[in-house]
Amino acid sequence: MASASVNVSVEAVQEHKIQEVTLDGQEIYIPPLSMSENLAKLAHKIDFYKDESEDKGKPTSEGEKEVEEEASKAAVQPSLWPWDNIRNKLKAALTEMSVLLDVLNITKEKRYMLLDHVSQDAPEAKSAIQLMAKKKGLQSAAGVLLAGAERLKKSQQEMGTRPQNEFHIELLKLRQNWRLKKVGKTILGDLSYKSAGSRFWQGGSFEVTKNTNIANGEGDNMASTRSSLEVVIPTELEGSAFVQVEVKTVEGSMNLTSAILRMPHGLGPYPSDAHWQTKLEAAQNVLFCKELFSQLAREAVQLKSFVPYIVVGNQIISNVFPNVQLSIVLCHSTGKKDKKSQHPGKVEHNHVLEHSLHQLLREVHFKSLNMSVPHPVTATIGVTKRRRMAGPEAISRRELLEMTESETLLEQIIKQTRHAVLRLRTMKVIDAVAAKFPDPQICAHWSCLNSSLESNVRVIITSQGYEAMRPTWQSLYLEIGVNDIKVVTRERRRIILSFEEKEIEDLLLWQISQHHIAICQSLARLLSWQYISHSSATGVGEMEDFATASSVLLVSPNSDKVIAVRSGPTTGLHVHMKSDAKDIDADLASILEAKWYNLTGTFKEIDLNRIDGRNFATKLELIMASVTRKR
Amino acid sequence: MGVVCVYPYPVPEEKSGQQVVDTIQKQLELLGAHKSGNFFVDCESYQSNLQTATQQRLLHLFHNSEQPATCFSVLDNGMCLVSDLLFEVLILKLAEKKSGKDSYYQQRKGFKVESKGQRYELGDFIIKVGSVIVASNFRGILIEVEYSPCVIPSECWNLMKEFIQSFMGNIAENPPAHIKSKMDTVYTPEDTIQQYLEHFNNFRKATSASVPATPNR
């Protein structure tokens, strides 16, 4: 037999039980219980069938018996919902099943949990030996702890003197923010969004290296200190990128061929000695923008719609309305070559839509990972809560079909763009009309409860000083949607407007003309003038370009003056007055009553510009008041 | 979900069921209804298998093509459970015999009842003409009329009565027995199933009544 080499093992002091001492003096120890064996031993001690008043091990069969008992009980207690008990038990059973499924899944992987035989309890040894063993064990444990404390104290002292940018400290900081793993001798990291739910084909793995050319002797100036850790980013993710979204008006509807390859500007390339955190964040942003743009481009090519999308290079162009174009550009500057800016003109980048795009992609990521509760932790696919409740709620076929429809990213962003354009246009038009016509005040109350696809506004037209007369208010309610605007007028008439700006302007002008007539009516009531006639669609006189003119006839309390007002959206406001005829025969004058005098006479127009008054209502009141005579 | 009324259509002695169904379908098409597919309502019964000889309880399991994700379970005392289709799998498990022990529920063979046929749509109405089949024998015709916009029976009963009488004659004098007590409450799909259960039970009884008649000859 060859001479056995002496085994020298350096290990912690063992206080394990000696199972056997062989003839050549070797001691064989009982191997200590590993973590899984320990767990198994403890689990073996739990008795699942004891200490539960309801049998949790068999919920379903119990549930059935409960059904019949509860059914008979329900007749006695009609107020108690009969399925409550069952539901609770089934819920508990579902929880237990989920836990069991998780345990089985984890055990299958054999990395964190193992199925193993249950070990038997070791036989009790004598108490004296146990005491000795425990004493020795405690002494060695104390020794280990004290040695550890010494080491920690020493390392703490060293930390103060060590320079801050040492490689391992930097590595620790890096590990706190990014996921790293060691492959062979190199340290690789992952900056992609895969763990957040992304399914992009391009991976983002970077390498962490030591920086060997640290400038010595410059440790005082923190700004110029180089970190001892460098990251190497893959070349396609270098530089910085952003997705530029622009909404612009172009003359000529199908001008999609004017797509020019954009050069990035406004983005500075990052200096090569920037801090690793900045570099990594920039690379991650580049990856995100690339994923976003590739998803949009794929949808633009595959989507079938009435309006064709054009994908040219790094640009996607589509017409949201005739004359309005949406362009999405991926701007990526690598910072290597010196590029001359070819577009000195300013580009109106829409930050809101860019943010929406980012949010939409993040939502896609989120949905691919998270499903609605309850579900086992290790489940990878699931159904939405609505689909799960479709059974118990007896959802019809039509509603189920509606649930399966989903929208692509491009469709969603185009809808948001449309709504943004409509909203801005409506705002502009209302403000322009309000500025142009100071006479009746136009007030727009925009609701603060709105979404990216719907907003609403209430426009109120009043005359200053006469707001107490509620009937004179013309209040319009506009609901701005994605493709059109719905209007509800004061008389509860529903009108649907398209995206043309002129339609909103026409509507407001028409409402202003209606307001004037409403003023006349209210003032007449106040000043006890009588109403002779009112027509909201006058068929005589000048024709309007759109809508109709309204007219009203008022007569004074003494029946000697008649005022006629005609107001139309394009023809404007005209006030005519008729006085009694002064040229009646003296013979007739004595036998005629006063009221017959106002059958004849001519109307004369009043020039409103020469009457004092801030607005039409004041002027009309002045006219009516000055003309009324006491009886 | 609207208000649904289910009525049996009597089949005259000399005609076959198929002929009557064709007549009704022609009438509907004349009225202007258009076909929108097939429909089915089927029922399977399970009997509880208790060792102690207390009264056997029945459980009826319904499916309705109008609510494809749902299955309805009705007990013999009238209580109804609306659940996902997976409940059926649960019942099947309960009906299995395992390791020497008897199952808790037993399926009653030969009790499967089905109503199948065409589905028509006419404005707000949905009309279904179904031939009832009990254990692969034709037993009768059930007509189901649904008025989608309304959910309270008392508000639309007059309209429905007029509509049904226009092509079915005087069958619909009174509202179905199940709805009569609930004219002012909200109508749910469960009520439809209860109506079907009533009619299916009648058809089953008619079957069992006619069967002893033949051996006597």
The predicted structure's pLDDT at residue A218: 39
Give the 3-state secondary structure of residue A610: helix
Which range among A42-56, A516-530, A537-551, B58-72 shows the weakest confidence by mean pLDDT?
A42-56
Residue A488: closest CA among A497, A475, A477: A477
CB contact under 8 A, B69 and A391: yes
The predicted structure's pLDDT at residue A209: 85
**A618 and A548, same structural domain?**
yes
A3 confidence band (pLDDT: 50, 70, 90): low
Q: Is pLDDT above 80 for A86?
A: yes
Nearest residue in chain A measured CA to CA from B1: A396
| Residue of A60, A387, A391 lying closest to B70 (CB–CB) | A391
CB contact under 8 A, B68 and A68: no
Of A143-152, A325-334, A368-377, B153-162, the range with the highest mean pLDDT is A143-152
CB contact under 8 A, A60 and B68: no
Q: Is pLDDT above 50 for A1?
A: no
> CB atoms < 10 A from the CB of A511, how many?
23
**A242 and A362, same structural domain?**
yes
The whole-angstrom distance between A388's CA and the closest CA on chain B is: 8
Which domain, by its residues, includes A212?
167-232
The predicted structure's pLDDT at residue A534: 92
Nearest residue in chain B measured CA to CA from A81: B79
Residue at B103 is within a domain: yes
Q: Which residues pair with A576 in a beta bridge?
A: A564, A605
**B68 and B128, same structural domain?**
no
CB contact under 8 A, B79 and A82: yes
**B83 and B60, same structural domain?**
yes
What is the pLDDT tens value at each position of chain B, 217 positions in all?
Answer: 789 999 888 888 888 888 889 999 999 999 999 999 999 999 998 888 776 667 778 889 999 999 998 999 999 888 899 999 989 898 888 888 777 677 777 777 767 889 999 999 999 999 999 999 888 888 889 999 999 999 999 989 999 999 988 888 888 788 888 888 888 999 999 999 999 999 988 888 887 766 554 444 4
Residue at A21 is within a domain: no
A299, A414 in Cβ contact below 8 A? no
**A242 and A228, same structural domain?**
no
Residue at A10 is within a domain: no
**B125 and B102, same structural domain?**
no
Mean pLDDT along residues A390-405: 85
Residue at A70 is within a domain: no
Nearest residue in chain A measured CA to CA from B85: A391
Residue at A444 is within a domain: yes
Residue at A465 is within a domain: yes
**A299 and A203, same structural domain?**
no
Residue at B216 is within a domain: no
**A295 and A225, same structural domain?**
no
Residue at B152 is within a domain: yes
CA A65 to chain centre: 49
**A265 and A221, same structural domain?**
no
Last residue of a domain, one of B51, B73, B107: B107
Residue of A58, A62, A66, A67 to mutate for B, most B C-beta atoms under 10 A: A67
Q: Is pLDDT above 50 for A341?
A: no
**A341 and A246, same structural domain?**
yes
A212-259 tens-digit pLDDT: 665 444 333 333 456 678 888 888 888 888 888 888 887 755 555 555
CB contact under 8 A, B81 and A83: yes
Nearest residue in chain A measured CA to CA from B63: A394
**A211 and A266, same structural domain?**
no
CA A581 to chain centre: 72
Mean pLDDT along residues A370-387: 80
The predicted structure's pLDDT at residue B170: 81
| Residue of A68, A391, A396 lying closest to B66 (CB–CB) | A396
Which long-range contacts does A209-216 make (Cβ < 8 Å, 24+ apart)? A210/A167, A214/A165
**B101 and B154, same structural domain?**
no
Strand order, beta sheet including A324-333: A240-249, A324-333, A315-321, A310-312
Which domain, by its residues, includes B147?
3-39+114-207
Measured distance CA(A130)–CA(A113) in Å, rounded: 31
**A289 and A304, same structural domain?**
yes
B7, B172 in Cβ contact below 8 A? yes
Residue at A5 is within a domain: no
Last residue of a domain, one of B61, B80, B107: B107
Would the CA dihedral through A24, A25, A26, A30 be positive or negative?
positive
CA atoms within 13 A on the CB side of A240: 15
CA atoms within 13 A on the CB side of A504: 27
Q: How many domains does chain A have?
A: 4
A33-77 tens-digit pLDDT: 788 888 888 888 887 766 555 545 444 444 445 545 555 554 555
**A222 and A328, same structural domain?**
no
Mean pLDDT along residues A590-604: 75
More confident residue, B157 or A13: B157
The predicted structure's pLDDT at residue A377: 80
Residue at B51 is within a domain: yes
Measured distance CA(B37)–CA(B128) in Å, rounded: 10
Residue at B215 is within a domain: no
Question: What contacts B89, CB < 8 A, 6 or more positions away?
Answer: none
Show the beta-strand stretches assigned E in A170-285.
179-183, 186-190, 205-210, 229-232, 240-249
**B118 and B35, same structural domain?**
yes
Measured distance CA(A539)–CA(A551) in Å, rounded: 10
Q: Is pLDDT above 80 for A274?
A: no
Residue at B212 is within a domain: no
**B128 and B200, same structural domain?**
yes
Residue at B76 is within a domain: yes
Q: What is the domain-level CATH number for residue B13?
A: 3.30.310.180
CB contact under 8 A, B70 and A394: yes
Residue at A283 is within a domain: yes
A506 confidence band (pLDDT: 50, 70, 90): very high
Report the C-alpha dihedral over residues A128, A131, A134, A139, rounded to 10 degrees.
Answer: -110
**A326 and A249, same structural domain?**
yes
Q: How many domains does chain B have?
A: 2
Q: Which residues of A touch B90 (CB under 8 A)?
A: 60
Measured distance CA(B136)–CA(A568) in Å, rounded: 76
The single residue listed with the structure tokens 């002091």 is: A13
Q: Which residues of B touch A64 (CB under 8 A)?
A: 48, 94, 104-105
B168, B20 in Cβ contact below 8 A? no
- pTM across the whole model: 0.68
Last residue of a domain, one of A488, A513, A538: A513
Residue at A139 is within a domain: no
**B193 and B119, same structural domain?**
yes
**A445 and A365, same structural domain?**
no
CA A5 to chain centre: 72
A275-334 tens-digit pLDDT: 888 888 989 999 999 999 999 998 888 887 777 788 888 888 888 888 888 888 888 887
- Which helix (H) or strand (E) element contains residue A281? helix A276-302
Residue at B213 is within a domain: no
Residue of A70, A383, A389, A397 to mutate for B, most B C-beta atoms under 10 A: A397
Last residue of a domain, one of B107, B122, B145: B107
Residue A541 falls in which region: left (phi positive, over 0), alpha (psi -120 to 50) or beta: left
**B87 and B188, same structural domain?**
no
**B179 and B133, same structural domain?**
yes
Residues of A with CB under 8 A from a CB of B: 60-61, 64, 67-68, 71, 74-75, 82-83, 387-388, 390-397, 400
Q: Which residues of A touch B94 (CB under 8 A)?
A: 60-61, 64
| Residue of B69, B77, B85 lying closest to A395 (CB–CB) | B69
**B200 and B135, same structural domain?**
yes
The predicted structure's pLDDT at residue A134: 93
Measured distance CA(A541)–CA(A534) in Å, rounded: 15
What whole-number percentage of chain A has pLDDT above 90? 33
A380-389 tens-digit pLDDT: 777 888 888 8
Mean pLDDT along residues A385-406: 85
**B55 and B130, same structural domain?**
no
Last residue of a domain, one of A487, A513, A539: A513
CB contact under 8 A, B94 and A395: no
Residues of B with CB under 8 A from a CB of A: 1, 48, 57, 65-72, 75, 77, 79, 81-87, 90, 93-94, 104-105, 188-190
State the burial class of residue A419 (Cβ atoms within 10 Å of its Cβ: 0-12, 13-18, 19+).
buried
CB contact under 8 A, B1 and A68: no
The predicted structure's pLDDT at residue A205: 87
**B95 and B135, same structural domain?**
no
